[in-house]
Amino acid sequence: NQTLVHPELVALVDRVRAAGEAAGEELELPRGPFGDASVHLLVRAAPLGTRYVLVIADDRTEAHRLEEVRRDFVANISHELKTPIGAVGLLAEALESAADEPDEVRRFAHRLTIEAERLRSLTNEIIELSRLQAADALEDAGPVRVDEVVARAVDANRVAAEAHRIALVAQSDPEAVVWGNEAMLVTAVHNLVANAIQFSPDGSRVGVGIMRRDAAVEIAVADQGVGIPESERDRVFERFFRIDSARSRQTGGTGLGLAIVKHVVQNHGGQVRVWSQQGRGSTFTIRLPEADPAAVAAASAPSARPKRGAKK
């Protein structure tokens, strides 16, 4: 029954049979009977004697997907970099023509500093994200104490919290241990706490909780801020996505923070979810597999990792 085989494949086999020599082709075929997903195949066919045709299909779908992601990323980066670079150019011109007016010079110089800072954080985050996307498996993985990750991420946000009189409180749980890369996990939790502070009113509260259940460790970052409309909840994890990009541009948001969180968490075999109520607040929860106690014991044995104290 030929209906089970893609007609494009049948046509290739027919051609090879008729010509009596091998041929190859790149095909994009529908993945299933419905939906618009497709598979990319590199198909080669060669006659085997007079009765048979050998068909070898190499699945290139994943490579195609990665290529598309890369192309999008490059297009977005170019767009995001052009704005601050354009601003730097304009401000430099303005500075030059205002050379005799000290107040104006100071004002333009101040704005120039802000744009330079934007470029710096954008470049850093782009490099960070590219590194994460390239690194599939975890380099330098070991047992990581989650409350230490949380403590470091929170400490790095203390000054920002104090500037807005935001009470920043974190839980501690010495038993919560995951397998992974501590620096990456600190970056992820740091980004969530930084967002929680940034999108909250002065004088509110940001809490970081640690929970262990069902062989998983959850890190929940909760704020009492502006919240996220339901329609945007999935999109906030996309690269360069900002709900209010004009406001975010002023505050220096790059739209990469949550994309980095998602990558780190996925690299650790976990997932990140968001709960939110507009005007009431948001909670971002990172869920990671709990480390296997046997692996932790082996890794913290004196010969293997003398300095890790994550014993059970």
Binding site for ligand ADP (CB under 6 A): 191, 195-196, 199, 223, 225-228, 236, 241-244, 248, 253-259, 282
> What's the token pair of residue 48?
């085997």
- Nearest-approach distance from CB 138 to ligand ADP, in angstroms: 22
Identity of the residue, 177 or 184, whose beta carbon is nearer to ligand ADP in the bound complex: 184
Q: How far is the CB of 182 from ligand ADP (least distance, A)?
A: 21
DSSP letter (8 states) at residue 304: T
Distance of CA 300 to the CA centre of its chain: 30
Cβ distance to ligand ADP smaller for residue 118 or 268: 118
Closest to ligand ADP by CB, 40 or 249: 249
Question: Which of 186/258 has CB closer to ligand ADP?
Answer: 258
Q: Considering the complex, what minimum distance in angstroms separates the CB of residue 210 from ligand ADP?
A: 18
Backbone angles phi, psi at 238, to 5 degrees: -75, 150
For residue 41, the cross-strand partners are: 27, 59
Q: What is the nearest approach in angstroms of ligand ADP to the Cβ of residue 39?
A: 31
Phi-psi region of 242 (alpha: psi -120 to 50; beta: other; left: phi over 0): beta
Q: Which is nearer to ligand ADP, 128 or 223 (CB)?
A: 223
CB of 17 to ligand ADP, least distance (A): 54
Residue 259 CB, nearest approach to ligand ADP (Å):
6
Q: For residues 103 and 88, what is the distance between their CA atoms, to the nearest angstrom?
A: 19
**Token representation of residue 278:** 């507009």
3-class SS of residue 209: strand
Question: Could you give the CA distance from residue 220 to residue 211 in angstroms, rounded to a whole number?
Answer: 8
Neighbours of 54 (CB within 10 A): 13
Residue 114: phi, psi to the nearest 5? Answer: -65, -45
d(CA 106, CA 293): 59
Return the number of the residue (45 or 258) whose C-beta is nearest ligand ADP.
258
